[in-house]
Structure 1
Amino acid sequence: MKQKIRIQLLEKRAALTNKEIRAKSEIIIAKLEELQEFKAAKNILTYVSFNNEVDTHPLIKKYLITKTKSIIVPKVIGNSLQLFKINDFSDLQIGKFSILEPIKGEKFGVDRLASSDLILVPGIAFDKEKNRIGYGKGYYDKLLKTTCAKKIALAFELQIVEKIPAEEHDVKVDKILTEKQIIC
């Protein structure tokens, strides 16, 4: 069932034009920056978007320049995510799965994330119960289980489905932001 949803939603997302992705992403990121949770966070652990995900590159670049928030990004090492605090967008290069990953930066233990910090979570599908379907490797579920930081998913409205079959190991997010709504 999850695989069927994954395939359907990846096809829908692939139909978005670059212009649509850019416009919708700008709306979603603007909503994110207005959240009290975002304003209060010192550390932002964010995915580095690729393909047709909600574009996080402008957000990452903005806060690397302003230095008002620390930017933490994941890197796939073995079968888990290792976290790194980066100082410049050039600290990233294409790595596993053709995703930009840190090539340098300070290793950042997940235990350093405070409850006031944020994790921006990618995914393929979400429901109104705040369940998510990722890419199927479980990297984020493993990471999200180990922290009390706020978990916010960034998604296009077309990624919201009626119901996701949640399993015991799945971790819900705290909020989902789309270009049309905030699901709390």
Structure 2
Amino acid sequence: MADPMNESSEDSVAGEKAALRHRLIAARAAMDATERATAAEDLAGWMSVDVPFRLEADVTVCCYASVGTEPGTAQMLDALVDRGVTVLLPITPDGPPTALEWARYTGRHGLRTGRFSLSEPTGRRLSNAALDTADVALIPALAVDRRGVRLGRGAGYYDRSLVATGAELVAVVYDDEVLDDIPADEYDIAVSWALTPGDGFTRLG
């Protein structure tokens, strides 16, 4: 029999998350193009300044191609490739939410529009087991708190994908999206770092 108290608690967390997502999405939409462009340049700059991880030719980094009002990653991806690391980007499979697939990023010319209008690499698809080879995963988020709780869009693709990886997990957010506290569910995968345009890499937890 389901526990009514537990269901009530889960409903409360879901409601708090939904309200927080709404506020954060609205705040991103209110940013102007100059702010976003500056943030993207600053994120790329952190790939060569005070990086807390090795970024050499034998390193694999999972990242993503930003869309819409997300912190821009195009320049950051190119900066990673310039360092000689292998960069993998996610591909969203058809069907209900499940673990992501991946493919190697070879440059902006090698991207196409995939599911949910996301930019995806055109190369050979790899299963989510490709994350076993990753040393660092730079992942999208609407916000992250100082304990490492990450707030995503709510579909759960990343929580399903990251559950068994040993990679250093880094949430990429704007400066004011590092919060003191975010409501969490038991299945939320914690991250160890935040990457912001103004402060670079910040250790969490």
Per the TM alignment, residue 88 of structure 1 is displaced from its structure 2 partner at its CA by: 3.1
**Cα pair distance change 1:10/1:126, threshold 3 Å:** same
Per the TM alignment, residue 108 of structure 1 is displaced from its structure 2 partner at its CA by: 3.0
Number of residue pairs matched by the alignment: 182
CA distance in 2, matches of 1:115, 1:17: 37
**Cα pair distance change 1:67/1:129, threshold 3 Å:** closer
Q: 1:4 aligns with which of 11, 19, 33?
A: 19
Question: What's the secondary structure of 1:183's corresponding residue?
Answer: strand
RMSD of equivalent CA atoms: 2.0
Taking structure 1 as the reference length, the TM-score comes to 0.88
Runs of 4 or more off by more than 6 Å in structure 1? none
Q: 1:130, 1:183 within 8 Å by CA — same for their partners in 2?
A: no
Aligned identity (percent) is: 26
Matched, 1:130 2:145: no
Q: 1:38, 1:118 within 8 Å by CA — same for their partners in 2?
A: no
5 Å-filtered alignment, 1:5-154, equals: 5-34=20-49, 35-40=51-56, 42-64=59-81, 66=82, 68-77=84-93, 78=95, 79-80=97-98, 81-102=100-121, 104-113=122-131, 117-154=135-172
Q: 1:54, 1:156 within 8 Å by CA — same for their partners in 2?
A: yes
Matched, 1:163 2:181: yes
Q: 2:65, 2:73 within 8 Å by CA — same for their partners in 1?
A: yes
**Cα pair distance change 1:19/1:124, threshold 3 Å:** same
AA at the equivalent of 1:68: G
CA distance in 2, matches of 1:96, 1:114: 24
* Structure 1: gaps of 5 or more residues: none
Question: What's the secondary structure of 2:87's corresponding residue?
Answer: strand
Give deviations 1:15-67, integer Å, cap 9, x for gaps. 11111011122223322433131525711111110111111111223444x37
CA distance in 2, matches of 1:73, 1:61: 13
CA distance in 1, matches of 2:142, 2:124: 29
Taking structure 2 as the reference length, the TM-score comes to 0.80
**Cα pair distance change 1:12/1:135, threshold 3 Å:** same
Q: 1:5, 1:125 within 8 Å by CA — same for their partners in 2?
A: no
CA distance in 2, matches of 1:113, 1:139: 14
Per the TM alignment, residue 110 of structure 1 is displaced from its structure 2 partner at its CA by: 3.8
Q: 1:33, 1:39 within 8 Å by CA — same for their partners in 2?
A: no
Q: 1:176, 1:183 within 8 Å by CA — same for their partners in 2?
A: yes
